[in-house]
Amino acid sequence: MADVTRVGDPHDPRLADFRDLTTADRRPDRPGGKGLVIAEGVVVVRRLLASPYPVRALLGVERRIAELDAEVDSAVPAYVTSAEVMAEVVGFHLNRGVLAVADRAKPWTLDDLTAGSRRLAVLEGVGDHENLGSLFRNAAALGVDGIVLGPGCSDPLYRRSVRVSMGHVLAVPFTTATDWPGALESLRDKGFQVLALTPRADAVALNEVRVDGPVAVLLGSEGPGLTDEAIKAADHAVRIPMAGGVDSLNVATAGAIAFHSLGAG
Amino acid sequence: MADVTRVGDPHDPRLADFRDLTTADRRPDRPGGKGLVIAEGVVVVRRLLASPYPVRALLGVERRIAELDAEVDSAVPAYVTSAEVMAEVVGFHLNRGVLAVADRAKPWTLDDLTAGSRRLAVLEGVGDHENLGSLFRNAAALGVDGIVLGPGCSDPLYRRSVRVSMGHVLAVPFTTATDWPGALESLRDKGFQVLALTPRADAVALNEVRVDGPVAVLLGSEGPGLTDEAIKAADHAVRIPMAGGVDSLNVATAGAIAFHSLGAG
């Protein structure tokens, strides 16, 4: 049961975590950044409550807080207010009626991520927050055990990624590669077969690939694709057979096809 | 070579087609609707020029019109102006620098669509313009020959769908089913195996399905999914194996997985 408090004043200092949400999710070293993890809507707040991220507080309209009440620890304050006060505090109109903020948790390491994992995704240059969020959603749905973020990837804990992922960035473990493409060699050393997904004509068609051990799928951004050095550090280059004249699929969609295809093998 | 004309006055009557673009794509029977097909940006305009839709005119900044010049028929006027005048005419700021408008073309019939087709997608209740656009993009990339729109689907020629599809709604033939679920029976009569994609536990896993003839994949919207009557009218219910606790994939992503999986068989 949450510790529910009614708040009527948008300037109430207890609501400080919820102010200016458009920048509060930035890392503390960025302008306006507080490094907070922000969940919006009942479904995503529920995933945050079930995640390893330490929840600081909830803010919502009465009905939404009531829906979540049983799942909230008694040490976590839940502030009930009106939709109007919420909008004034956060800086824009929210149509989901509830928010929760959490602190960042200790990041996973590559060793944490690989221990016991059978399937990983490795991303290079995925800077778009929506694509990143969609990739986490697809990874969660299709049984990917963890995600390694290579150079050029955005922060998956940004509010928009959390929202587009439907909260699955809070559930799928991830780590940032500190060595590149060294992280790919580390994965191979740990027994992962690394498959680089690329539209190159000389790549093997995805449906002809059979894996029977741990596998890591390497995905690049839509425009430039994977770097040559990343492709070289993989075991194989694989491609999704495409119809003539079509440039490419969205990276999250390509990832979903690969996760399904390799999981089903 | 286009018939290029410079225009400086945002009130020039020759630019009438480009006014109030936020409503001009609506069907003529809707408020503000002109029933126009609108393409934004060089890539999508190029697809419009290669499509069966009769292009009425182009409007763009000099550099973008020059890029497209060689592909434009001499009977089509191309108006060159500044970014500021463009914004004033269309009613919002455009960052792609070029637009084209076309008339709607004679719609395909179900007979047109099935003739010579091996793979179709059939949609029920896909009302979201972005999902619809993404479905067309994925269908084009993965070799789907045509799309049948069942009840509850949006108009794929709306501007947002055209844009999200990257212009592929202009290339993939589609038709609206007039009889439902009768259209599914018609497809079966024409020799198509109709597979209904659903998360139901008693459905066959997609990777266990083997098809060796024409196939139609039936997809429903994310929330409510397919209606019972649609599933009953299909040959088989098939499912994408999902990890526990994850509700569902985006409909365009689920479609992409199915198109790839069935195409690769």
Query: pLDDT tens for residues B174-231?
Result: 999 999 999 999 999 999 999 999 988 899 999 899 888 999 999 998 778 999 999 9
Give me the sheet containing A119-124, strands edge to edge: A174-176, A146-149, A119-124, A215-220, A193-197, A236-239, A204-205
Distance, in Å, from the CA atom of B196 to the CA atom of A157, rounded to the nearest integer, reads: 35
Question: CA angle at residue A150 from A107 to A144, to 5 degrees?
Answer: 70
Distance, in Å, from the CA atom of A210 to the CA atom of A143, rounded to the nearest integer, reads: 17
Nearest-neighbour CA in chain A from B137: distance (Å):
8
What does the pLDDT read at residue B92?
Answer: 84
How is chain B split into domains, by residue range? Answer: 3-102, 110-263
Cβ B58 vs Cβ B130: under 8 Å: no
Q: Which of A257, A259, A261, A262 to mutate against chain B (most B CBs within 10 Å)? A: A257
Question: CA angle at residue B139 from A125 to B156, to 5 degrees?
Answer: 105
- Look up residue B256 and give its DSSP letter: H
Distance, in Å, from the CA atom of B222 to the CA atom of B208, rounded to the nearest integer, reads: 23
Q: What is the 3-class SS of chain A, one letter each residue?
A: CCEEEECCCCCCHHHHHHCCHHHHCCCCCCCCCCCCEEEECHHHHHHHHCCCCCEEEEEECHHHHHHHHHHCCCCCEEEECCHHHHHHHHCCCCCCCEEEEECCCCCCCHHHHHCCCCEEEEEECCCCHHHHHHHHHHHHHCCCCEEEECCCCCCCCCHHHHHHCCCHHHCCCEEECCCCCHHHHHHHHCCCEEEEECCCCCCEEHHHCCCCCCEEEEEECCCCCCCHHHHHHCCEEEECCCCCCCCCCCHHHHHHHHHHHHHCC
Q: Are the beta carbons of A141 and B260 separated by less than 8 Å?
A: no
What does the pLDDT read at residue B78?
Answer: 96
Cα-only R_g, chain A: 20
To 10 degrees, the CA torsion angle through A77, A82, A88, A90? Answer: 40
Query: What residue ranges of chain B have pLDDT lower than 70?
Result: 245, 247, 264-265
Residue B173 touches chain A, beta carbons under 8 Å? no
Residue B42 touches chain A, beta carbons under 8 Å? no
CATH 3.30.450.20 fits B3-102, yes or no: no
Residue A130 touches chain B, beta carbons under 8 Å? no
Interval B48-58: pLDDT, tens: 999 999 999 99
Nearest to B260 among A246, A257, A263 (CB): A257
Please, which residues bridge with residue A100 across strands?
A: A39, A58
Residue B19 touches chain A, beta carbons under 8 Å? no
Cβ A194 vs Cβ A63: under 8 Å: no
Cβ B165 vs Cβ B156: under 8 Å: yes
Q: How many CB pairs under 8 A join A and B?
A: 84
Local confidence pLDDT in tens for the 265 residues of chain A: 778 999 999 999 999 999 888 877 777 777 777 789 999 999 999 999 999 999 999 999 999 999 999 999 999 999 999 999 999 999 888 878 999 999 998 899 999 999 989 999 999 999 999 999 999 999 999 999 999 999 999 999 999 999 999 999 999 999 999 999 999 999 999 999 999 999 988 999 998 998 889 999 999 987 789 999 999 999 999 999 998 767 679 999 999 999 999 984 4
- Look up residue B112 and give its DSSP letter: H
Distance, in Å, from the CA atom of A61 to the CA atom of B237, rounded to the nearest integer, reads: 40
What does the pLDDT read at residue A128?
Answer: 95
Query: Which CATH homologous superfamily contains domain B110-263?
Result: SPOUT methyltransferase, trefoil knot domain (3.40.1280.10)
Q: Are the beta carbons of B256 and A252 separated by less than 8 Å?
A: no
Nearest-neighbour CA in chain A from B208: distance (Å):
9
Tell me the chain B residues in contact with residue A141 when contact means C-beta distances shorter than 8 Å. Answer: 242-243, 246, 248-249
Please, which residues bridge with residue B196 across strands?
A: B218, B237
Q: Are the beta carbons of A242 and B141 separated by less than 8 Å?
A: yes
Residue B118 touches chain A, beta carbons under 8 Å? no
Residue of B nearest to A167 (CA): B246
Please, which residues bridge with residue B80 across strands?
A: B6, B60
Distance, in Å, from the CA atom of B195 to the CA atom of B180, rounded to the nearest integer, reads: 16
Nearest to B246 among A140, A241, A250 (CB): A140
Cβ A26 vs Cβ A32: under 8 Å: yes
Question: CA angle at residue B25 from B19 to B31, to 5 degrees?
Answer: 85
Q: Is the peptide bond preceding residue A181 cis, with omega within 30 degrees of 0?
A: yes
ipTM of the complex: 0.90
Residue B155 token pair: 């108009």
Nearest to B138 among A137, A206, A253 (CB): A253
Q: Are the beta carbons of B137 and A242 separated by less than 8 Å?
A: no
Residue of B nearest to A264 (CA): B207
Distance, in Å, from the CA atom of A123 to the CA atom of A255, rounded to the nearest integer, reads: 10
Cβ A254 vs Cβ A248: under 8 Å: yes
Q: Are the beta carbons of A257 and B252 separated by less than 8 Å?
A: no
Distance, in Å, from the CA atom of A244 to the CA atom of A254, rounded to the nearest integer, reads: 17
Residue A210 touches chain B, beta carbons under 8 Å? no
Residue B210 touches chain A, beta carbons under 8 Å? no
Q: Which residues of A93-129 are buried (b: 16+ CB within 10 A; e: fewer)?
A: ebebbbbbbbeeeeebebeebbeebebbbbbbbbebb
Q: Are the beta carbons of B260 and A206 separated by less than 8 Å?
A: yes
Distance, in Å, from the CA atom of B68 to the CA atom of B183, rounded to the nearest integer, reads: 40
Nearest-neighbour CA in chain B from A208: distance (Å):
9
Tell me the chain B residues in contact with residue A142 when contact means C-beta distances shorter than 8 Å. Answer: 240-243, 249
Nearest-neighbour CA in chain B from A42: distance (Å):
14
What does the pLDDT read at residue A87?
Answer: 93
What does the pLDDT read at residue B245?
Answer: 66
Q: Are the beta carbons of A264 and B207 separated by less than 8 Å?
A: yes
What does the pLDDT read at residue A243?
Answer: 85
Distance, in Å, from the CA atom of A48 to the CA atom of B149, rounded to the nearest integer, reads: 37
The sign of the dihedral angle between the CA atoms of B240, B245, B247, B253 is negative
